[in-house]
Amino acid sequence: MCELLGMECNVPTDIVFSFTGLRRRGGGTAHHADGWGLALYEGKRARTFLDPEPAAKSPLAAFVAANPIKTLLAIGHIRKKTRGPTSLANTHPFTRELWGRDWVFAHNGTVRGARSLALGRYVPIGTTDSEHAFCHLLEGLRASFPKGAPDAATLSEAVAELGGTIGKKGTFNFLLGDGQRLYARCATKLCHIIRRAPFGQARLADEDVTIDFAPVTTTRDRVAVVSTVPLTTNETWQIGEPNTMWVFDRGRLAQTHAS
């Protein structure tokens, strides 16, 4: 299966440390070698890097890691294909516009009944079950709220409900972002950590890299990181329960929904 990486924070932060760990798993320390992608929000728009090459060997991934871009919300993905060939069109994360902002989506698992999910305004570009499910999910939100985005609590509940319905057709771990909040659904495997003061050191599991966050943070900073499996070896990660969805807002775990 694929692996997911998300970050949501209350101050602009770069994702280089976490991305370095994820990148090694893309054909280096693990076999997720069928492409990678990273989306970094700047307001309503997401700057997206996609490459069907293995992340561990990708010059573009090396460039992204060497040139930090600060953001409040990021979504990353390394792919181990189950449906659809290795190609740029099938590389996560996927992006679509809804209510005047980019929505970004990445999936881990296989939704075997995805082709039976109805489509509307949104149609896939590639051939993955993941993108089909994303298009169905966004169409469900658009149809449920035709006058525009609802309040945050109502929207979160709707995402959790749609995620649970799609999840009945297969394994549907996903990250979904709109530039304001990060939605993280656990079907089988997902974890998160919230880094806050007092900040300390973190050591990557897949690379000989240790960072001390204390000199580059303040007492007000909060950074939530979500991953399929823990990226570090010396921190305590919270393990998700199957069929639940987390909502992160300004570096906090704002809500947990049944999904």
Given strand 238-239, what is the order of strands in its sheet? 45-51, 36-42, 71-78, 3-13, 222-227, 191-196, 238-239
Strand partners, 245: 185, 257
Round to the nearest angstrom and report the end-to-end CA distance of the chain. Answer: 21
Residues in the chain, overall count: 259
191 is catalytic: no
Active-site annotation holder among 2, 135, 186, 191: 2
Q: Look up residue 109 and give its DSSP letter.
A: S
Residue 198, preceding peptide bond in cis (omega within 30° of 0): yes
Cα four-point dihedral sign 8, 62, 34, 80: negative
Residues with catalytic function: 2
